Amino acid sequence: MVGLGDIMRAVGDLYLRVRRTTPFQRKALRAIQRCRTEMMGAVRAVCDKCRREHLLFRSCRNRHCPRCQAKARATWLEAREQELLAVPYFHVVFTVPEMLNPLALYCPEVFYPALLRAAGHALLDVGRSKLKALLGCLTILHTWGQNLMLHPHVHCVVPGGGFSLDGKRWISVRNPSYLLPIEVLWRRFRTLFCTALREAERKGRFRRVPDTVTPHLLIEGAAAQKWIAYVKPPFGGPRQVLKYLSRYTHRVAISNSRILSFTDGKVTFRWRDYADSNRVKYMPLDATEFVRRFLLHILPDRLVRIRYFGFLANRRRTENIERARTLIGCSAPVSAGDRTKFPFLCPACHAAYRATFTGVHRRDVDVRPPPVLIAAALS
């Protein structure tokens, strides 16, 4: 089965020679090329089921690599499970007009943090005005569409309720299937985001934008448009919340399961056309074009793509969660069900197992492909 690493190893060096790239794009490309290969080194492991010994190639642990997110995702989900409340949860998505894409492409370290802040504060502001409650939310940045073109948007997970303005009561949503008025949400989001972009332009933070692009005209043109935001139906319960989070939090632009073939310099992958009744289609691309589209979604180092706002903000989240449980009348964390504790599949017996590491690379041990991560295979 072909994967992203195979494509990067085949055409990545050529792409770097003929195309301009940023330092963080080059860093990610090199990491994906080396991931789980002899270049990264290997450790000796023993399956606790069949006792066969084999080598596990080390992973690159780059956040843009589709093979290196399972452990980080499992650790993150375990922490989030302790913060679930016995309330309905809503899924809100904010999208920006396509005409702003040049600002995201040339100045991502300015554009994306402003996008996340605008989405989070829009929910807090509208919740304060319409529900008279202090809400909390988790925001997740995605920059891609199904066809790998640039499509910045923010997914938000919002508990259905919040603290009263004096902090002494818990205020639940009036209707368990309705959070906030959608038109008020997108208008507030548009105001906050455009204000942030204007301030960034005033401070000269769009200097890398080409002379052919005028940030002021893009911002004002976008501010005159109707923006897209929508609230999906509420989740069915804690299990559904974590199932959603496991799909979206540590996701990358394309998973290996969507790549169908790589032959004669062309990559074919599966994608879903939301404009055509969610039909599944197949897109063949020249390998260099495929790499170009993938690199559009490499984020700068230290740019945090998962952020918390309101009573879920990092500083006082633990204290606020305990206070919310007290006010709701549910003192213990809500169980989301058991998850597998065995992260690997043995390449010999194909059983799920927990590896026992017994040393570093040894020449008399057969080199086997790294075992398949169960969590990655399910994503």
Does residue 376 have a pLDDT over 50?
no
More confident residue, 72 or 325: 325
Q: What CA–CA distance (Å, rounded) separates 35 from 220?
A: 43
pLDDT band at 352 (very low <50, low <70, confident <90, very high): confident
Each residue's pLDDT tens digit, 65-100: 998 887 788 888 888 888 889 888 999 999 999 999
Percent over 70 (pLDDT), the chain: 89
Lowest-pLDDT range, 32-36, 106-110, 362-366?
A: 362-366
- What pLDDT, in 10s, does the model give residues 124-167? 999 999 999 999 999 999 999 999 999 999 999 999 999 999 99
Residue-averaged pLDDT of the chain: 87
Pick from 62-66, 69-73, 247-251, 357-361: least confident: 357-361
pLDDT at 372: 40
Taking residues 16-43, what's their average pLDDT? 92
Question: What pLDDT sits at residue 52?
Answer: 81
Instruction: Place 235 in a pLDDT band, splitting at 50, 70 and 90.
Output: confident
pLDDT for position 358: 63
Q: Give the span between the Cα atoms of 336 and 327, in whole angstroms.
A: 21
Greater pLDDT, 78 or 204: 204
pTM: 0.88
Burial 316-346 (b: 16+ CB within 10 A, else e): eeeebbebbbebeeeeeebebeeeeeebbbb
Given this model, what pLDDT does residue 343 score?
Answer: 59
Asked which of 62-71, 203-212, 298-307, 320-329 is least confident by mean pLDDT, the reply is 62-71
Cβ neighbourhood burial of 274 (10 Å; 0-12, 13-18, 19+): exposed
Q: What are the residue ranges spanned by the domains of the chain?
A: 4-65+355-378, 80-253+309-328
Query: Is residue 365 very low, low, confident or very high in pLDDT (cuts 50, 70, 90)?
Result: very low
